[in-house]
Amino acid sequence: MNFNRIAPWFGRLEKIVFRDQMQLCRTAFLSELPAIKKAALIGEGNGNFLIQFLCHCNCEEIHYIDSSTQMLNLAQKKIQSHDFPGLARIEYYHLDLSLDGMPDQNYDLIVTNFFLDVFNETTLDKVVSKIASSCTQDAHWLYADFQVSGNRFQRCRAIVWVKTMYLFFKLAAGIETMSLTDPSTLLDRNGFQIKGSTEFDNGLMRAELRQRKNKVVSDSELF
Ligand SMILES: C[S@@+](CC[C@H](N)C(=O)[O-])C[C@H]1O[C@@H](n2cnc3c(N)ncnc32)[C@H](O)[C@@H]1O
């Protein structure tokens, strides 16, 4: 799987096909985030979300992870062309999370925008567990992705879109699956419960804010 070839076209294609809907979906819950210390933005691509993230979140450390060098270069160029303070807090990691481990531990925010849909069921399970095990016990997870949901019309429309997109990404980037797996059960199983959920583009996309609830209570909190 390699997104290098389509990296330069990704932003333009997104705008032509979905106008502003994907970006609205990515950023839906940014204003509801609590204070964050350490965030992992995973499979985050060309940097469109990162700019909005920096406007909203005064996070101390940001780990920007992607398996495509082209996507990482685009994100770095984009961010350097903006006048944001404290760019040194962003570290870029060239990692394939289906094979590599997370670069660090104790993340209190995970962001996966239109990333988990590139995996088949088996890999998705491994990737979600790997990410979850790098998080704090009360971490938040911002999730945005496509879905097949709603009434008969919405479901039929979504099936056509999803099939077309998978065919395109199979040919252009060699993604490992041709079908969309909803990660809700995996996120639930890893303790990330829904705090907020909203849909975009007539139900074709869903944004969620989740938080881990199996917080370990320390002795000092008990007494
Ligand atoms: C469909 S694009 C989404 C990009 C961006 N998050 C967005 O919302 O537009 C998927 C991104 O995940 C990256 N990616 C795919 N497989 C990956 C993997 N195994 N590990 C890390 N990144 C991966 C790709 O390089 C690409 O940037």
Q: What is the set of domains in the chain, with CATH numbers?
A: 7-212 (3.40.50.150)
Q: Is 113 in the pocket of ligand 1 (CB under 6 A)?
A: yes
Whether the full predicted model's pTM is greater than 0.85, yes or no, is yes
Provide the pLDDT for residue 45: 97
pLDDT band at 83 (very low <50, low <70, confident <90, very high): confident
Angle at 26 between CA 20 and CA 28, to 5 degrees: 90
Q: Is 45 in the pocket of ligand 1 (CB under 6 A)?
A: yes
What is the distance in A from the centroid of ligand 1 to the CA of 2?
Answer: 9
Q: Is 68 in the pocket of ligand 1 (CB under 6 A)?
A: yes
Reported as a single tens digit per residue, the pLDDT across 124-183 is 999 999 999 999 999 999 999 999 999 999 999 999 999 999 999 999 999 999 999 999
pLDDT band at 104 (very low <50, low <70, confident <90, very high): very high
Ligand 1 atom at shortest distance from the alpha carbon of 96: 20
Region of residue 155 (phi > 0: left; psi between -120 and 50: alpha; otherwise: beta): alpha
> What CA–CA distance (Å, rounded) separates 51 from 55?
6
